[in-house]
Amino acid sequence: MAQKSHLHLDEEPDYNEYVVCKYRVTTDLPMEKAAEALAAEQSTGTWTGISTLDDEIFDTLGARVVSIEGDEVVVEFPVEDFSVEVGSVPQILSVIAGNLFGLGSLKGVRLEDVSFPDSINSQFKGPKFGAQGIRELLGRPEKPLVGTIVKPKIGLDPERTAQYVYEAGSGGLTNSKDDETLVDQAFCPIDERTVAVAEALDLLKDEGHLMMHAINVSTRGDRIVELAEKVQGWGATELMVDVITCGFGAVQALAEDPSIKVPIHVHRTMHGAFTKDPYHGIAMLPLTRLVRMCGGDALHIGTLGVGKMAADAKDDGNLAACLGDDVPFKTVMPVCSGGAYPGIVADIIARSGMDVQIQAGGGVAGHPGGVKAGAMGMSQAVDAAFLGIPAEEYAKDHPELSEALAKWGKKK
């Protein structure tokens, strides 16, 4: 076959027929050459011409570079490049985010965004509950959800974990969760923890307060559904899964299994390894889109530039990717977490809007008055933001918020 080009720069991206990816490319090569190398490697080409590539394969399966603007390269992949029917994120990622990261001709390349045509979206089921379903389970239709991560992230035994959850709920929190490193350690066996937490949640319910706690079931792929079923049997009201370490298939397996009847809270630990560098890796946005497709009901998206994690303040495409109506799936509850405390709640909500779950670990457990007072401080901060009252003003007759503001201030 005569050498053909992957460049189709006079054409518009075709979002109905192709998987369309936006990459940020850094290279010493002319950008067209770099884009050509990327498109070739990820579809029908390799580093040299090959005798087995014919026109038909190239024309039907070759990736097409449809735009180059500055360092932004838009590549569309024919749907035929992807597995049929099964909704396979591993195979999708190998195409749109595979070998290209190692190409020597590119100094850096970052997948910034992806959009899927109906024929691929229809292979996925999306969330079973979604943001709305979680709100319904909690009887909280409008206000932001407010939660905690049990701290220290490892160390408390089941009874102390349950006590923490009970105090957090007594202080008004709607959500709590295991942290990403806690699953089934000897100091806090998952069966005993789940049962103890379920009892605490039942007690809160009897007292008129609805709350859910996500039990972390992150484990090896061949055991995760079985563990989730057990945990559910022990009384879990929500499951948590670390999507990057377990894989998107783990979220999908849980969400699509008919036996799983509770929402799935998706943590993204390890994402910083590839989201943090603005010139190389994968932005959070494609991950958000994939989690929604795979059925995550709530997903960490960072504190929108306000908390402890180095989240990009401009990365608010994730909110739209969780809540937008451009895909045929239920919405995902965006979770803002990581270094949150009462003094930054209003700033987060100003960026997120009311459809959000704000979580604080240290910002609850670090309160001078203890966990219940910490929970009250966070809840009051959310109430103030919901009512449009400045936190300092609201704190005048809410002592727990006042103490939190005195300890941590408004915004660091």
Residue 339 interacts with ligand RUB (CB under 6 A): yes or no: yes
Residue 83 CB contacts under 8 Å (≥ 6 apart), including other chains: 91
Residue 305 interacts with ligand RUB (CB under 6 A): yes or no: no
Residue 363 interacts with ligand RUB (CB under 6 A): yes or no: yes
Q: Which of 308, 330, 351, 407 binds ligand RUB (CB under 6 A)?
A: 308
With CB under 6 A, what is the number of residues at the site for ligand RUB? Answer: 17
Residue 246 interacts with ligand RUB (CB under 6 A): yes or no: no
The HSE-up count of residue 5 (CA atoms within 13 Å, CB side) is 10
Distance from C-alpha of 330 to C-alpha of 108, rounded to nearest angstrom? 34
CB 338 → ligand RUB: shortest distance, Å?
3
In the complex with ligand RUB, which residue's Cβ is closer, 247 or 361?
A: 361
At 232, the amino acid letter reads Q
Distances (CA, A) of 259 to 70, 198, 233, 375: 49, 19, 10, 33
CB 9 → ligand RUB: shortest distance, Å?
37
Task: Mark the segment that binds ligand RUB (CB under 6 A) among 41-49, 52-60, 68-76, 337-345.
Answer: 337-345
Residue 251 interacts with ligand RUB (CB under 6 A): yes or no: no
- Distance from the first to the final alpha carbon of the chain: 61
Task: Mark the segment that binds ligand RUB (CB under 6 A) among 92-100, 183-191, 273-281, 338-346.
Answer: 338-346
Residues designated as active site = 151, 267
CB 156 → ligand RUB: shortest distance, Å?
14
| Residue of 406, 400, 410 lying closest to 173 (CA atoms) | 400
> Residue 258 in 3-state DSSP?
coil
Structure tokens at 224: 């995760």
Task: Mark the segment that binds ligand RUB (CB under 6 A) among 48-56, 116-124, 236-244, 336-344.
Answer: 336-344
Task: Mark the segment that binds ligand RUB (CB under 6 A) among 85-93, 139-147, 241-249, 333-341.
Answer: 333-341
- Cα–Cα–Cα angle for 338, 289, 230, rounded to 5 degrees: 70
Distance from C-alpha of 82 to C-alpha of 92, rounded to nearest angstrom? 6
Residue 352 interacts with ligand RUB (CB under 6 A): yes or no: no
In the complex with ligand RUB, which residue's Cβ is closer, 92 or 150?
A: 150
> Residue 379 in 3-state DSSP?
helix
Residue 338 interacts with ligand RUB (CB under 6 A): yes or no: yes
In the complex with ligand RUB, which residue's Cβ is closer, 117 or 366?
A: 366
Using CB under 6 A as the binding rule, the residues of this chain from 149 to 188 that contact ligand RUB are 149, 151, 179-180
What is the torsional sign of CA 22, 26, 27, 28?
Answer: positive
Q: Which of 195, 250, 284, 309 binds ligand RUB (CB under 6 A)?
A: 309
Residue 362 interacts with ligand RUB (CB under 6 A): yes or no: yes
Structure tokens at 234: 């022990």
The edge-to-edge listing of strands for the beta sheet with 72-78 is 64-69, 72-78, 18-26, 108-115, 281-282
Structure tokens at 106: 């590119």
Locus of tokens 């006042």: 402
Residue 59 CB contacts under 8 Å (≥ 6 apart), including other chains: none
Using CB under 6 A as the binding rule, the residues of this chain from 206 to 245 that contact ligand RUB are none
CB 309 → ligand RUB: shortest distance, Å?
4
By the 8 A CB rule, do 342 and 378 touch?
A: yes
In the complex with ligand RUB, which residue's Cβ is closer, 149 or 241?
A: 149
CB 337 → ligand RUB: shortest distance, Å?
3
Residue count of the chain, please give it: 412
According to DSSP, the β-strands at 298-300 and 333-336 are parallel
Q: Residues in the site for ligand RUB, rule: CB under 6 A?
A: 149, 151, 179-180, 268, 300, 302, 308-309, 337-340, 360-363
